[in-house]
Amino acid sequence: MSLQKATVAFTTPPNYAARLSNLLSLGGYTPLWCPTLCIQPLPSNLAPFLSPHSLSPISAIAFTSRTAIQALLQAATSLSHPPLPPEGPTFTLAALGKDADLIDAQFLSAFCSNSNRLCVLVPPTATPTALVKALGDGRGRRVLCPVPRVIGVNEPPVVPGFLQELRRGRWVPVRVEAYETRWAGPRCAESIVTASEEGGLDAVVFTSTAEVEGLLQSLKEFGLGFADLRRRCPRLVVAAHGPVTAAGAQRLGVEVDVVSSRFGSFDGVIDVLNVTFSRFRV
């Protein structure tokens, strides 16, 4: 097997798919997009929180996903004026890794006309735990947490654990369902199943625990388990985007072969795939 012929399936939802697909192509892989989740922003759920009266008791917003940022931007731009008043104490917007790139000049101006009032916080490690640590001692302050409503798969422990860590850090988390994460349905694994039938699947990349569960549920509809994919493709490499996803996959019974150590962006996944597939170059 040569690197150029390696087919890498990834189960990432649409809002992340283009970035990962492009990186895989640039790396010389054949990307096979097989989304197991659908993501839908719910900006209307955020609207009640985006008024001067509602925001005044809140000191920060903690984003744990790209979609949460997009949902809040949609909600803010639908208003006649920025929701956060220009005068007042510093307000923190916290995000993970490359997701923070979305908190750009457009976002800041839509949220508050005085950018000097805003502090954008990005922890050095792109994990919810690192985000809580970067936020520091909450001292009883409120933090708005735009999180998903999960439908069709079990809610992974990531968000509940994040909210609990915030409470331990003396924050008062205000949970709002800013987007919907829904199972893509019983046929969503079809591309992966088809590729595996002829042994043409070289790797699978997971970027969240819910993606893994979505794939397993669909494989069950085909009368298969993940072990059947490995049997059909003995050299199959399972890669996880960071340790949180790896732990979730293994909790669901999917053994992970390689884990990205640079999970602030998808570049880390490409790095571990390159190292792994270099052994198979001819």
Q: What are 188-214's pLDDT values in tens digits? A: 999 999 999 989 999 999 999 999 999
Instruction: Please check whether residues 160 and 51 belong to one and the same domain.
Output: yes
Q: What per-residue confidence (pLDDT) applies to 282?
A: 45
Instruction: Please check whether residues 49 and 170 belong to one and the same domain.
Output: yes
Instruction: Please check whether residues 88 and 117 belong to one and the same domain.
Output: yes
Instruction: Inform me whether the pLDDT recorded for 281 exceeds 90.
Output: no
Tell me which residue of 29, 30, 33, 38 sits closest to 10, measured CA to CA.
33
Instruction: Inform me whether the pLDDT recorded for 4 exceeds 60.
Output: no
Per-residue model confidence as pLDDT tens digits over 127-174 = 999 999 999 999 999 999 999 999 999 998 999 999 999 999 999 999
Instruction: Please check whether residues 8 and 58 belong to one and the same domain.
Output: no
Instruction: Inform me whether the pLDDT recorded for 53 exceeds 90.
Output: no
Q: What per-residue confidence (pLDDT) applies to 198?
A: 86
How many domains, in total, are found in the chain? 2
Instruction: Please check whether residues 199 and 172 belong to one and the same domain.
Output: no
Instruction: Please check whether residues 124 and 154 belong to one and the same domain.
Output: yes
Residue 73 backbone dihedrals phi, psi, to 5 degrees: -60, -45
Instruction: Please check whether residues 170 and 204 belong to one and the same domain.
Output: no
User: Are 253 and 273 within 8 A, CB to CB?
Assistant: no
Two tokens, residue 161:
């654990």
Instruction: Please check whether residues 76 and 107 belong to one and the same domain.
Output: yes
Report the run of H or E that residue 184 belongs to, with start and end: none
Q: What percent of the chain has pLDDT over 70?
A: 98
Instruction: Please check whether residues 49 and 110 belong to one and the same domain.
Output: yes
Instruction: Please check whether residues 172 and 50 belong to one and the same domain.
Output: yes
Domain extent for 243:
3-36+184-280
Residue at a domain's end among 125, 149, 182: 182
Instruction: Please check whether residues 196 and 163 belong to one and the same domain.
Output: no
Residue at a domain's end among 182, 210, 245: 182
Q: What per-residue confidence (pLDDT) applies to 3?
A: 46
Residue 76 to residue 92: CA distance in whole angstroms: 16
Of 176 and 278, the structure prediction assigns the larger pLDDT to 176
Buried-state track 188-211, b at ≥16 Cβ within 10 A, e below 16: bbebbbebbeeeebbbbbbbbbbb
Tell me the CATH number at 52. Answer: 3.40.50.10090
User: Mean pLDDT score of the chain, rounded to an integer?
Assistant: 94
Instruction: Please check whether residues 168 and 263 belong to one and the same domain.
Output: no
User: Are 239 and 271 within 8 A, CB to CB?
Assistant: no
The beta-strand segments (E) located in 11-141 are: 30-33, 37-41, 58-62, 91-94, 118-121
Q: What is the dihedral of CA 143, 147, 121, 47, to 10 degrees?
A: -70
Q: Which residues, other chains included, contact 254 with Cβ-Cβ below 8 Å and sequence gap of 6+?
A: 206, 212, 216, 226, 238
